[in-house]
Amino acid sequence: MAYFAPLLSTFLFFSIYYSQSNALSSNYYAKTCPQAEDIVMKVVKEEAQKDRRVPATLLRMHFHDCFLRGCDASILLSSKGKNTAEKDAPPNGSLHGFYVIDGAKRAVEAICPGVVSCADILAFAARDAVVLSGGPYWNVPKGRKDGRISRASETTLLPKPTFNISQLQQSFHQRGLSLDDLVALLGAHTLGFTHCSSFMNRIYNFNATHDIDPTLRPSFAASLKGICPLKNRAKNAGISNDPSPTTFDNTHYRLILQKKSLLFSDHSLLTTPKTKGLVYKFATSKSAFHKAFSNSMIKMSSLTGGQEVRKDCRVVN
């Protein structure tokens, strides 16, 4: 027995360590800050009324956060000294709602100082963003901790819009997410906006034999070229992800089936029978989509990684 003791204690150490840092629960703040979620919802709602782009950016921010180092609010940290943070790297494209999280954090700190992590506030805000857009409500597991590291170089680990289905599957699998989660979560692209830069490669010089990606409907590709000319393009040129970019509906899946998805990655869902079947299912049933989306969001937002409860979401304690 003595022989195994070191192994056993190592095992115990790791299981205790991980259960302490990773155990999320729905009543985590029941005693210490029961008002936290209501406060965040109020702030997100006010800001969404002022700027209709807010829900989309909060949802995307939470996804970027969770995919790098777990949902640890690493996306919220500012660059400091020689370190360039995640938020200052190129894929940040449309991330613009950092002030909303700052406002929510200030409001929560005023009632329960030092208790609620920035990572939890962002997870609440992402859920609220979906609810305020007419999407499903889910119970957010709580108790995430905030991390102390954010590196611009790591944003290369985010899935890219040029990914095919095997690359997408691998990226999600590395985070414990399945193909079902992939198809459900990409329904988030029913909200928001995409800049021309995210799909220019599909409409000009696609490859040696095709100027335009042949998986795009030709009439749609032509209209995209009108919006995104090669020369003298406005800096913020782009297009809404679907005709109802503030409504959390299943239109995005219908557009994929019509060969009108802006991102090659979204189109790739049609390239395996399993994922294509799910696209059909969600295109025809909004309730099936909403149910699957909630479940997959809970999975994605339960990837944890931090150590502390930051006082200011932009800087480590």
What does the binding site for ligand NAG look like in residue numbers (CB under 6 A)? 87-90, 92, 95-96, 164-167, 207-210, 214
Are the CB atoms for 35 and 112 separated by under 8 Å? yes
The CB-side HSE value for 276 (13 A sphere, CA atoms) comes to 8
User: Has 210 been annotated as catalytic?
Assistant: no
| Binding site members | 65, 70, 72, 74, 86, 159, 189-190, 242, 249
According to the binding rule CB under 6 A, does residue 63 interact with ligand HEM? yes
The 159-198 site mask, x for binding ligand HEM (CB under 6 A), equals xxx------x----------------xx-xx-xxxxx--x
- Length of the chain as a residue count: 317
For the residues of 243-288, what is the DSSP string, one character each?
Answer: S-TTS-SSHHHHHHHTT--SSHHHHGGGGSHHHHHHHHHHHH-HHH
Residues 258-317 within binding reach of ligand HEM (CB under 6 A): 263, 265
127 contact choice in ligand NAG, ligand HEM, none (CB below 5 to 8 Å, kind-dependent): none
CA torsion sign, 299 to 300 to 304 to 310? negative
Collect contacts of 96-100 with beta carbons under 8 A, ≥24 apart: 96/53, 96/57, 97/47, 97/53, 97/54, 97/57, 97/58, 97/61, 98/61, 98/314, 99/47, 100/43, 100/44, 100/47, 100/54, 100/58, 100/125
According to the binding rule CB under 6 A, does residue 252 interact with ligand HEM? no
| Binding site members for substrate | 159
57 contact choice in ligand NAG, ligand HEM, none (CB below 5 to 8 Å, kind-dependent): ligand HEM
159 contact choice in ligand NAG, ligand HEM, none (CB below 5 to 8 Å, kind-dependent): ligand HEM
The 127-166 site mask, x for binding ligand HEM (CB under 6 A), equals --------------------------------xxx-----
Phi, psi at 99, each rounded to 5°: -60, -25
Please say which residue, 71 or 108, places its beta carbon nearer to ligand HEM: 71
What residues are annotated to the active site?
64
Which residues lie near ligand HEM (CB under 6 A)? 53, 56-57, 59-60, 63, 93-94, 159-161, 168, 185-186, 188-189, 191-195, 198, 263, 265
